[in-house]
Every structure is written in C-alpha cells, then in structure tokens.
Structure 1
Amino acid sequence: MSEEAATVAQIDLALVDDCIERFFAVSSARARRFGRPSEELWRVLRRASMGGKRFRPRMVLTAYAGLGGTDAHAAANVAAAYELLHTALVVHDDVIDRDWSRRGEPNVAGSFRDTGTTGGLALPTAEHRGVSAAVIAGDLALAATTRFIEASGVTGDRRARLLEILDDAVFASAAGEMTDVDLALGVMPTVDEVLAMERAKTSVYSFEAPLQSGAVLAGAPESVVEALGAFGREIGIAYQIVDDLLGVYGDETVTGKSVLGDLREGKRTMLIAYAATTDCWDDIAPYLGDPDLTEDRAAELRATLETCGAKSAAESRIAEHAALARAELAALPYELAERLEHLVSELLERVR
C-alpha cells in the first residue's frame, strides 16, 4: 500500500474512533437518567470497545477509498457500525465460552462479576450478575449498529442495501455461533463443517460484509460488490485457518495468544478435525481438552499433528483459499485490487 493511501487510512480510522466515542458519550449521558447500574453498564461496554485493531473498519475504508469514495463522514459511520457489531459479538461469544477475561483483562462479564464479589456477593451470585450484564451489554451494542448506518446520511437504495448487508452479517454470525456450540459436542465434525462454521461465525461480518458495504457506499456496480463478497469469503476462510494454526504453532510474543489455550480447551479446529481422520488420533485424543496439559505434552501433540499431516493440510487449505481470493481480484479496479493483494500477501506472511 502506498504511503499516501496509508496516511488516508489513518485519518479515516481516527474519524471512526470519533464516531464511536460520540456514540458512547451520548449513550453514557442518557444512562445517567436511569441511575448507577445503567451508567456502569455503558462505562464497561465502552471500555470493551477500545483497544482493538479496527480491522473491520479497515475493510470498509479500503473498499470505499479503492473505489473512489470521498465522503469521509459517511465512510467513518458505516465503518463504525462494523466495529460496534464486533464488540457486540465478542461480548456474547465470551458469555457462550464462559470466559471472564479478554486480552488478559476482565471482559464485560468478568468486570461485573468482580465488582459483585468486591461488594460482598457470593461467587455464584456474582457470576450470574456478570453474565446478565454481558448479555444486556451485547444486546445494546448489537441494537445500536444500525444507528451508524442512519448517521452516515446515505438514503434510498444504497441505505437499504447497506442495512441488508449488515443484517445478513448478523444472521450469518448467529447461525455460525449456534453451529459452533453444537460442533463442540458429540461426534467430531469434518474439516469442511469446521470451515463452514468459521466462515459464518466470523468471516462474513469481518471480511465479506465490510468490503461489500464499502463498495455499496462508493456506488460500485453489483458485479464489483459480488466480487468483493467472493474475495472476502475466501480470504476470510484462509484467515480463520491461519488463526487456528497460530493458536497451536504460533509465537506467543508475536501473536499475543497462548499456544496452549486451544489444546487445553480441546477446540475443534481444522487441525483437530483432520487429525481425527488419521491413524494418529489415538495418540492425540486422550490429551486434547486437558486443562492441566503441560508444555512438554503440548510439544508432543504438536509433533503428532505435524506427523499425521494435519499441519500441512491446513497450510495447503490456506494456500488454496488465498489463490481463490486472488482470482477474484481480476474483476476489481486496479487500485483496489492492489490494496487487497497486499492483504493476501500479509496473510501468507503470517504463516511463513
């Protein structure tokens, strides 16, 4: 990406942050009318929205700028809609996964649980308080996403199409989340079932919908919108496989993610689904999902996953989906295709 394009992206992301900050300022002021519990809810939710990489807004702005869009106000608001959607889905996902922290800090549920125990509540009661607050907070963020589309000032068919794309993203993510819950139970899913779940749960709202929204906002023809959706689908699946691979084989100092967490949880990723079809499975299954898994045993599991071909199969699928994503770039204007090629190269670099 050129230095000029990177500078524009930085300016636009600052505008996205401004949109989100104004939203929380207004919401926090409204909350004062309802007393301390509502104020605390909005304060904690605001904190949960901070500190991210603004990846989904970047997708919106990349497509919009690459297609010649110039309305920074409209673009920033549409981009902010996807950032708030991400916040909502993460808050709810933590509830489903029974997690109390994120990035090493208490999440929404954990914050309300902790203030409950500090205030003298028994742990089960405090945990119920935390889960309840997280459900409400996630609902508030989810319900507010369309307000940013309205705030963009877009009208007519473009407004209707933006709302449709956002709604489809929410619908897909809910379907993927429910599938994820069920795939964690019972019979081991196939590789394709795992990837279909990950695409619906995360890739649609992280790649496909933001890219398409940027294109619609820029007034691009439907052929370009569809090509961006196809690109987003393929690169999104590749990204999910990369994340699963780095969750076992990554460098914690680079990724910030433990390479023990997925193994201790017994997370059914592509790696595990593939391994379950091999003769090595009996050497893996007894230790997968052990919360006390040691570093030495984890190293043995990694070696076995490599021996059985699971790691190379994941790497092959990454390359396959990256190639399919690149094939969609031919239908896009050169400047936008160049920016998205940078995204593909960045992805492949993560697993080298």
Structure 2
Amino acid sequence: MTHAFLDRVDLRTRVQCALDDFLRGRRARLSEIDLEALAPVSDAIEAFVLGGGKRLRPAFAYWGYRGAGGADDDAVVAAVASLELVQASALIHDDVMDGSETRRGEPATHRRFAKLHAEAGWRGEADGFGTASAILLGDLCLVWSDELLHTSGVDPVTLARARPVFDEMRTEVTIGQYLDMQTQATGDTSTARAGLVARYKSAKYTIERPLLFGAALAGAPAGLAASYSAFGLPLGEAFQLRDDVLGVFGDPAVTGKPAGDDLREGKRTYLVAAAMEHPDGRVLDERLGDPDLDADGVARLREVIVSTGALERTEERIAALTAAALEALRAADVTAEAREVLEGLAQAATQRAG
C-alpha cells in the first residue's frame, strides 16, 4: 500500500473530524438559543453531513493544494472540509426541488421534517413545514460553509487569495441548479443543453473549483491553475454523466434512491437527450417526468435508452472525457504523490458502482 493511498484514507478521517468538531460547536450555539426546538435541526444536519458522502470535493481540493507544493496542514484540511457544507446545502435544496423522497437511503430532509410535524401534531400542513425547514437548513449549511472556512486557522492573506474561487464555486452551483430546473420546465432536450447544465450543476463545483481552491491556498502559478481546469472540467462532466447513468440504471441499495428516480423527476440529462435524438427515443417525452411511473414503466424507458444506443454513447463519452482529463493531468506540473492520488480519485469519480 503506497504512502499516497494511506494519506488519502487518512484525509477522509481528518475531514470527518474537522466537520464533527465544527458541528459540535454549532450544536452548542443552537442549544443556547432554544435546546428543545433546535435539537432536530442539529440532528438533521449532523446526520446529513457526517453520515455519508465520498468526500470527493475536499479530496480534490486538498490534493490540488498538495500538488501545487503545499505542505500538510490541519488548517487547510479544515478549510477544504467547508466544501462538504456547500455540498450538503446543494443536496438538501436539490431534494426539495426534485420532490425526492430519499437521500442515501434515508428520508430526504424535507420529508424528515414533515414527519416531525405530523408526529408532533402541530398546526398547519406538514409537507409545507417540511419544505420550509429544508430550505432553511440548506441555507444554514451554506452560511456554515463560510464560517468553517474563516475559522479554519488558515491565515488571512491565504484566505483572501482563495476566497474568490470559493465564491465563484457557490455562484456556479446555484446557477447550475436553476438551469437544471429551468431546463426541465422548458422541456429543452438537447445534448448541448444537457452538457451546459452538467457543467455548472456538478462538473465545476465537484472537481474543477475544488482543485482551483486548493491551488489558490497553495499560491499556485496561473499555469498550474490552467492545467487543473484542463483536468477538472472534463473529469467533472464525466462524473456527472456517471451519476446520470446511475440515476436510471443504478441499484437503489447502492445509490440510496429509488430505481429510475431521474426518469420520474423528468431529468433532461445527456443520457436522455442522446436517446431522444434517435427517432425511437421520442417515446421518452411521453413518460419522462411522470411521478407515477411504475417499475414496468421504468423498465420500458430503460429499454428505449439502451436500444437507441444512448447508454453506449454516454459510456463512450465518459471514457473519452476521462481519458482527456488524465492526459491533462499527466502534462501538469504537479508533485508525483499528488498525481498518483488524483489519478485514483479520477477513477473513483467516474467508475462508481451502482
């Protein structure tokens, strides 16, 4: 087992500890305000942030930093851990917008708080309370991402250098979420549009921006930042395409979401767009976005996606994008240790089981 691999495993533990320490402090603060009323808020955020996730974004940020020559530093680990709170905010809000029932095999945050309302016998409508609560909890995670970054221990000069990347990343993922929602509403089903949504909703904030954030923390030159973009953008798109495949063909026991959920939610992904470009794929438009789509309906749409060649086309694109990303990484002026870990992260991001 290589030293780099050991460091990668250790990093995940260190990120978890940084998040745990930070959220313990936030629980104490909320308890001072109203222990009984706000304990469920702390419980839900801790369960969401600490209970799952691959920690890909902190890993890309940390190894972007190390690849630029940055020395190991607990303060930097805490700073990159703040990306997990950005991720939590995006996922909580995404589940509200999609009307998702589950996340990682557990009730989505809005469903969790609807249940709390119903079981307590409170006044008003339980689903409305759940939705409002999830919006606020997502906002709170975004606020706390800022707080964790600024209390990480990274010196102010370094923070000021990295802050524009952090801000741009949060803008991009928010705009990407809107583009995803707007594309579903307009019914724009083209591979070009699907690529734009994937780029801003996931690709940039999952891989490219974390890499650039790490590079900024290390004070990397512009040339290395450009190399990180050349690596991170195609890899991020490949990551999202893999996620799209899992959203239709993935095993619910692994993905934590019901089979075919993306089809019920009407996701206009590259996979769906590729199928609909085929004459036989137009049938998708009749059933895509039907919340009552049953198992037989999901199976039928899967057959169409396979028979039109869309699945094969998507897999080929994942492979081509990953190859382009790895070629850019090989040409980048990064440390050998970081290159090894980033190659492993690239494989983990694009070859997920499900």
Q: TM-score, structure 2 length as denominator?
A: 0.90
In structure 2, give the amino acid aligned to 1:341: E
Residue 204 of structure 2: aligned partner: 204
Residues in 1 aligned to 2:317 and 2:42: alpha-carbon distance in whole angstroms: 41
Residue 17 of structure 1: aligned partner: 16
Q: Is the 8 A contact 1:176 1:200 kept in 2?
A: yes
Q: Is the 8 A contact 1:238 1:318 kept in 2?
A: yes
Q: Is the 8 A contact 2:224 2:333 kept in 1?
A: yes
Residue 338 of structure 2: aligned partner: 336
Change (3 A) 1:188 1:250: same
User: Which deviates the most, 112-121 or 309-318?
Assistant: 309-318
2:56 aligned with 1:58: no
User: Which deviates the most, 234-243 or 181-190?
Assistant: 181-190
Shift of 1:109: 1.7
Residues in 2 aligned to 1:110 and 1:342: alpha-carbon distance in whole angstroms: 36
Residues in 2 aligned to 1:246 and 1:253: alpha-carbon distance in whole angstroms: 12
Residues in 1 aligned to 2:134 and 2:98: alpha-carbon distance in whole angstroms: 12
Residue 184 of structure 1: aligned partner: 184
Residues in 2 aligned to 1:187 and 1:12: alpha-carbon distance in whole angstroms: 42
Residues in 1 aligned to 2:74 and 2:228: alpha-carbon distance in whole angstroms: 22
User: Which deviates the most, 334-343 or 197-206?
Assistant: 334-343
Shift of 1:319: 2.4
In structure 2, give the amino acid aligned to 1:174: T
Residue 33 of structure 1: aligned partner: 32
SS in 1 for 2:186: coil
Q: How many pairs align?
A: 350
Shift of 1:64: 2.7
Counting only pairs closer than 5 Å after superposition, residues 1-352 of structure 1 correspond to structure 2 as 3-35=2-34, 36-52=36-52, 53-121=54-122, 125-155=125-155, 157-329=157-329, 330-333=331-334, 334-347=336-349, 349-350=351-352
Residues in 2 aligned to 1:278 and 1:17: alpha-carbon distance in whole angstroms: 45
Deviations 1:162-182 (A, max 9, x none): 111110011001111111111
Change (3 A) 1:40 1:250: closer
Shift of 1:268: 1.4
Unaligned runs of 5+ in 2: none
**Identity value in percent:** 33
Change (3 A) 1:8 1:281: closer
Residues in 2 aligned to 1:267 and 1:198: alpha-carbon distance in whole angstroms: 11
Deviations 1:266-310 (A, max 9, x none): 321112112222211343333333344344443332232222221
In structure 2, give the amino acid aligned to 1:249: F
Deviations 1:170-207 (A, max 9, x none): 10011111111110113333111112112211222211
Deviations 1:201-251 (A, max 9, x none): 122221112111222223322211221123111100011111112222334
In structure 1, give the amino acid aligned to 2:2: E
Residues in 2 aligned to 1:267 and 1:90: alpha-carbon distance in whole angstroms: 15
Residues in 2 aligned to 1:347 and 1:47: alpha-carbon distance in whole angstroms: 23
**Aligned residues: CA RMSD:** 2.4
SS in 1 for 2:264: helix
Change (3 A) 1:336 1:274: same
Residues in 2 aligned to 1:129 and 1:82: alpha-carbon distance in whole angstroms: 27
Shift of 1:111: 1.9
In structure 1, give the amino acid aligned to 2:343: E
SS in 1 for 2:278: coil
Change (3 A) 1:283 1:149: closer
Change (3 A) 1:214 1:258: same
User: Which deviates the most, 81-90 or 222-231?
Assistant: 222-231
Q: Is the 8 A contact 2:105 2:255 kept in 1?
A: no
Change (3 A) 1:9 1:72: farther
Q: Is the 8 A contact 1:61 1:75 kept in 2?
A: yes
User: Which deviates the most, 255-264 or 212-221?
Assistant: 255-264
Q: Is the 8 A contact 1:188 1:276 kept in 2?
A: no
Unaligned runs of 5+ in 1: none
Q: TM-score, structure 1 length as denominator?
A: 0.90
Shift of 1:45: 1.5
Q: Is the 8 A contact 2:4 2:340 kept in 1?
A: no
Change (3 A) 1:171 1:241: same
Residues in 2 aligned to 1:144 and 1:347: alpha-carbon distance in whole angstroms: 26
